[in-house]
Amino acid sequence: MLTRALVLLSGGIDSAVALWWARDRYSVTALSFDGLRRPRGEVRACRAVARRARVPHLRVDLPFLEARSDGYVPGRNLVYHSAAISIAERRGARAVVAGHNQSDAKHFADARPDFFRRLLSLADGVRIVRPFASMTDAQVARLGARMGVPLDITWSCYRDGAKPCGRCAACRDRRAILP
- β-bridge partners, 60: 33
Cα-based torsion angle of the residue sequence 106, 73, 140, 52 in order, rounded to the nearest 10 degrees: 180
C-alpha–C-alpha distance, residues 31 and 59, integer Å:
6
Query: Does residue 2 register a pLDDT over 90?
Result: no
Phi/psi of residue 31, nearest 5 degrees: -130, 120
Query: Does residue 1 register a pLDDT over 70?
Result: no
Instruction: Collect all residues with Cβ–Cβ distance below 8 Å to 147 and sequence separation of at least 6.
Output: 17, 20, 21
Domain 4-177: CATH superfamily, name plus number: HUPs (3.40.50.620)
Query: Does residue 48 register a pLDDT over 70?
Result: yes
Please give the radius of gyration of the chain, using alpha carbons only, rounded to the nearest integer.
15
First to last CA, the chain: 40
Could you report the per-residue pLDDT of 66-117, keeping only the tens digit for each? Answer: 888 777 888 899 999 999 999 999 999 999 999 999 998 888 889 999 999 9
> pLDDT class for 44, splitting at 50, 70, 90?
very high
C-alpha–C-alpha distance, residues 73 and 16, integer Å:
20
In the chain, % of residues over pLDDT 90: 78
Report the alpha-carbon angle 19-145-21, nearest 5: 25
Choose the weakest-confidence range: 15-24, 73-82, 142-151: 73-82
Instruction: Collect all residues with Cβ–Cβ distance below 8 Å to 56 and sequence separation of at least 6.
Output: 28, 29, 30, 50
* H or E element that contains 7: strand 4-8
Average pLDDT value over all residues in the chain: 93
Could you report the per-residue pLDDT of 60-69, keeping only the tens digit for each? Answer: 999 998 888 7
The strand ranges marked E within 42-143 are 57-66, 95-97, 127-129
pLDDT score of 77: 94
Choose the weakest-confidence range: 12-16, 29-33, 35-39, 149-153: 35-39
